[in-house]
Structure 1
Amino acid sequence: MKEKALLVGIVLVMAGLASANFFVAEKKEVNISMISQEYTIKAIKAKGHEHLLRVEGKEIKNAFRPIAKPMNIPVANTEDTEYHPTVASSGTTLFAGYAYSTSLLEQDIYMVLSTDGGQTFTPAGYWTVEGVEDYPSFDHWGGNTYYGTFMPDPNTPYTYLMRINDITDTATWELVYYDWSSYGWYDMQAPTMACHNSQDPWEFGVIGFI
């Protein structure tokens, strides 16, 4: 009778192990009460409803400023330290940018261009946006077209889109901003620009922020 009870006990323990579905590390003692418990995995359902986010992009007029072109320049030609550079390439054409602080309360996104595979860079210009902008991110869309963005001043509800319609003609460069104040969003960080030209021209790609 004891042998039968022992056999039944072993079967129950093995059944408990099968239903628990977990691994036990190398131990000399095993807690039987834990093994006999049953575990169920349940999916976590999202609460609420999907929301369609929509804001209208507004072009910033006369925001671009050209930079004086020196006789010889490696990449940048500023008096102080440049920060957080980025570069996008379409082969021999390289479009680079960086953050440059002109005062404690003002920092802008400067841009330079190379058409010889990076052997020389020519200053292109910078965006005159009020506040402290940082961390530019550029990407090549196709042909002579590039897109870009950057981290806005943390005290503003804006995100920015750079439309470089023709990299060789700064007159075609545009800067558009989006106001997210109606959603209560401020301090957008870690901007990322990703382009893809498989769709219509206005479907340039994706801008990511945190």
Structure 2
Amino acid sequence: MNSLNNIQIPFWLFESHIARIDLIKPDTLMELYNTVLTDRYKNSKAATYLVSVIKNKIAITSNSIFPDFSVLDIHGNSIESSKLRNKFVLVQFWASWCRPCLDELPSLKELNEEYKDQDFKLISFSIDEDSTAFRKAIEKYSMNWAQIFRGRPLFNSLGGSEIPQLYLINKSGKVIYNKETSNDWNLVLLRKILSERLIQ
């Protein structure tokens, strides 16, 4: 990064383009942020939010603590990450219009049925904006686990770009599985981790 010390770029360019390049590792992204942006940009509210997103991206790719969240499911039940420390929590991001997400649902339903009576909780965060399409999909695919509508704020805070996405959080709140970084598209690794960590 020494060669970048004298380079400065506009915040909008960094936020809208560079920060969204998935091929750039989060820790490298943070180093770029500290190197190529002036203090003028860094003192803005937008920059403060961007830093939190980058830190969250670092956390979910380095077996660190998953960012805290407090949400209501579609039945009005409160779900707080801080109160789930005694469980393995599988967090899914999806949408009713996403075909790969829908193709993944049978596997998730199978996992939920297998482990729901153990120290395990599956939570699906939809990034849908259309509540009717969202609820129709839940009913059609019998998604009988915790469902969160408009989960985009959490998705965005993680620097999310593509769905479906899955994270497995252990009882200490740490991310021990990230589908994207694991390239575990058939969920083989996820199944292995759950079978090893949860008592049959």
Larger Rg: 1
Q: Same fold (TM over 0.5)?
A: no
Which structure has greater helix proportion? 2
More strand by share: 1
When normalised by structure 2's length, the TM-score is: 0.28
TM-score, with length taken from structure 1 = 0.27
